Amino acid sequence: MEQTLDSFRHAMVRVHDVAIHAVIGGEGSPLVLLHGFPQTWWEWRKMMPLLARHHTVVALDLRGAGHSDTPQGGYDKVSLAADVHGVMESLGFPLYAVCGHDIGAMVALALACTRRDAVTHLTFPDCSMPGWSQWEANFADPRNWHFAFHMKRDLPERLIFGREYDYVSTFIADRAYDHGAHASEDVEVFARAFAQPGNTRGGLEWYRAFPTDRADASNGRRHP
Amino acid sequence: MSTPSESSKPMAGMSLRIDDMRFAFRRTGHSGTPVVLLHGWPQTSWAWRRVMPLLEKGFDVVAPDLPGFGHSSKPEAGFDKRTVATRLRALLKALDLPHVVLVGHDLGGHVAYAYAAQWPNEVSHLVFIESSLPGFGQEEAMDVSKGGSWHFGFNMAGDISEALVRGREHLFVDHFMRRETVGVFDSGSVTEADIAHYARALARPGALRCSFAYYRILPADRRDNAVWGRRPLPMPVLAVGAAGGYGPESSRTIRRVASDVRDILIERCGHYPAEERPAELATAIRDFLAVSPPASAA
């Protein structure tokens, strides 16, 4: 089942050898929206019509999620940021604002650090960053047990297989404030996307790349 | 009589109703100093199948399935090690074993410590195998930002961990016993049948819930240990590490709460010495008890 929004169009944009799924609509200064785990561009469905009044909105599926490709590697946030920049350039937006949530926020920060000429504004709600303040404390926080679980190779895929809805719904419910905000159909959308062949691994790869991200952040931070 | 050389011959199983639960245990020897063997997570008394025949001469060997594991009951609550030790003490009282040698592996080490700390006069010797106590070193193994294992957080996460493992108990047990980091040194030392044995036990109704409950209660154990730890254990302690397991960690952690500690490190062995190096382990226990014989027992 395809998720669509009125007056938004869908495109598969090739960036080097990876196809990225983007949803585009609205008019005004360009703004790219980057979702978190275990979600897709559909995370932004409620905000996109509102933002489209003032912006050309691009919501995309990160490498490893939704309808985007799920290659073997390239899940560090600098590579994911390069995907985003490639999509924006292909769509004819050399300058754009970025809004990222959760893993998407890590990508947004990496994008701002590596493409400071292209990123005009940066918004990231609710996230800490590998290699930045509070990261180690966050990692050790029992509520973030999933960091280490996701970083474990192969076993999580086997345990989650066939139970994507259980995993995704529990994951969201454990972290939501207003449980009415997530209709079960929307949770099913995310669960089905997560269950697509390769996508469970794809989502987990974002976490497995944390050590690379941490090293990249240590390098990038020297140039605020 | 079972033959001491046969490693996989099952020991006689039996059970007793103690208060609100059924305690399953294996027993062999029946004469001599009582030696109580406490298995680790996610195992059962089956873990001692190769050690028990080697100790039966001269010892009364009892290996219970800890509450929630194996064929023991699956209680609603009481997985803090203080309560587990209290339940175990009731079993040993029912068996008329007021003074014992306690041997604990992994989680069984936590229980053995809780027992020895609360009733030091009833434990003549403690053998602490491949274990690390909450509040006294286990936190390092749990801190994933410093290379700790993912499974502590997963096991403590809540119902989702049960939902993911249910029906996949074999995969789960197999993963732990053969994990790259501290799994068995020789892949042949644990058979598929052994893994299946543990997996079946973990698949019994309530078993996963109980198994994870042992982890979810770790903060309470940490508080108890902090109090008990102020008074060092008086009895002789043997810390057993495995070179391919957590190495010197058992010795390091128990030295923080005991005054009379010696240690050994078993080479060519992962986290499961009772199954991988039963002869070395049994000999180490015998030597330890021979050098400082139980004063109050027998």
| Residue B103: φ, ψ to 5° | -125, 120
CA distances from B235 to B55, B116, B293, B295 (A): 21, 8, 11, 10
- Gap from A139 CA to chain B (nearest CA, Å): 6
- Gap from B164 CA to chain A (nearest CA, Å): 5
Position B3 pLDDT exceeds 50: no
pTM of the model: 0.90
What's residue A142's pLDDT? Answer: 76
B52-65 pLDDT, tens digit each = 999 999 999 999 99
Partner-chain contact A152 B150, CB within 8 Å: yes
Residues forming a β-bridge with A8: A25
- Gap from B115 CA to chain A (nearest CA, Å): 28
Confidence band (pLDDT; 50, 70, 90) for B144? confident
Partner-chain contact B145 A158, CB within 8 Å: no
- Gap from B197 CA to chain A (nearest CA, Å): 20
A181-208 pLDDT, tens digit each = 778 899 999 999 999 999 999 999 999 9
What's residue A181's pLDDT? Answer: 79
Position B47 pLDDT exceeds 70: yes
Position B145 pLDDT exceeds 80: no
Position with higher pLDDT, B292 vs A92: A92
Partner-chain contact A140 B171, CB within 8 Å: no
B167-197 pLDDT, tens digit each = 999 999 999 999 999 999 999 999 999 999 9
What's residue B148's pLDDT? Answer: 83
What's residue B297's pLDDT? Answer: 43
What's residue B239's pLDDT? Answer: 98
What's residue B110's pLDDT? Answer: 98
Partner-chain contact A140 B143, CB within 8 Å: yes
What integer best gives the mean pLDDT of chain B?
93
Name chain A contacts of B159, Cβ cutoff 8 Å: 170
Domain B13-291 has CATH 3.30.540.10: no
Among residues A46, A54, A53, A98, the alpha carbon closest in space to that of A77 is found at A98
Chain B residue with CA closest to A214: the answer is B145
Domain parsing of chain A, residue ranges: 8-220
What's residue A129's pLDDT? Answer: 76
Position B149 pLDDT exceeds 60: yes
Domain parsing of chain B, residue ranges: 13-291
For B165, the closest of A145, A159, A174 (CB atoms) is A159
Residues B13, B16, B21, B26, Cα dihedral to 10°: -30
Chain B: residues touching A (Cβ < 8 Å): 143-145, 148-150, 152-154, 156-160, 163-165, 168, 171-172, 175
For B154, the closest of A135, A140, A145 (CB atoms) is A145
Confidence band (pLDDT; 50, 70, 90) for B2? very low
Give the best residue of A138, A145, A157, A175 to mutate against chain B (max B CB count within 10 A): A145
Partner-chain contact B168 A158, CB within 8 Å: yes
Side chain identity at residue B227, one-letter code: V
- Gap from A159 CA to chain B (nearest CA, Å): 5
Q: Three-state SS across A41-108?
A: HHHHCCCHHHHCCCEEEEEECCCCCCCCCCCCCCCCHHHHHHHHHHHHHHCCCCCEEEEECCHHHHHH
Partner-chain contact B145 A152, CB within 8 Å: no
Position B288 pLDDT exceeds 80: yes
B198-246 pLDDT, tens digit each = 999 999 999 999 999 999 999 999 999 999 999 999 999 999 999 999 9
Give the best residue of B164, B171, B173, B182 to mutate against chain A (max A CB count within 10 A): B164
Residues of chain A with pLDDT under 70: 1-2, 125-127, 220-224
Residues in chain B, overall count:
298
What's residue A10's pLDDT? Answer: 97
For B144, the closest of A135, A148, A171 (CB atoms) is A148
Could you give the CA distance from residue B210 to residue B229 in angstroms, rounded to a whole number?
A: 26
- Regarding the domain with residue range A8-220, which homologous superfamily does it belong to in the CATH classification? Alpha/Beta hydrolase fold, catalytic domain (3.40.50.1820)
For B150, the closest of A149, A170, A171 (CB atoms) is A149
Residues in chain A, overall count:
224
Q: If DSSP codes are grouped into helix, strand and coil, which group holds residue A165?
A: helix
Mean pLDDT of B121-148: 90
Least trusted range by pLDDT, from A142-146, B69-73, B74-78? A142-146
Mean pLDDT of B154-170: 95
- Gap from A172 CA to chain B (nearest CA, Å): 12
Name chain A contacts of B144, Cβ cutoff 8 Å: 139-140, 147-148, 151
Residues B102, B103, B106, B108, Cα dihedral to 10°: -40
Which residue's entry shows tokens 């028990």?
A: B52
Could you give the CA distance from residue B218 to residue B220 in angstroms, rounded to a whole number?
A: 5
- Gap from B89 CA to chain A (nearest CA, Å): 32
Which residue's entry shows tokens 């403590």?
A: B156
Q: Three-state SS across chain B?
A: CCCCCCCCCCCCEEEEEECCEEEEEEEECCCCEEEEEECCCCCCHHHHCCCHHHHCCCEEEEEECCCCCCCCCCCCCCCCHHHHHHHHHHHHHHCCCCCEEEEEECHHHHHHHHHHHHCHHHEEEEEEECCCCCCCCHHHHHCHHHCCCCHHHHHHCCHHHHHHHCCCHHHHHHHHHCCCCCCCCCHHHCCHHHHHHHHHHHHCCCHHHHHHHHHHCHHHHHHHHHHHCCCCECCCEEEEEECCCCCCHHHHHHHCCECCEEEEEECCCCCCHHHHCHHHHHHHHHHHHHHCCCCCCC
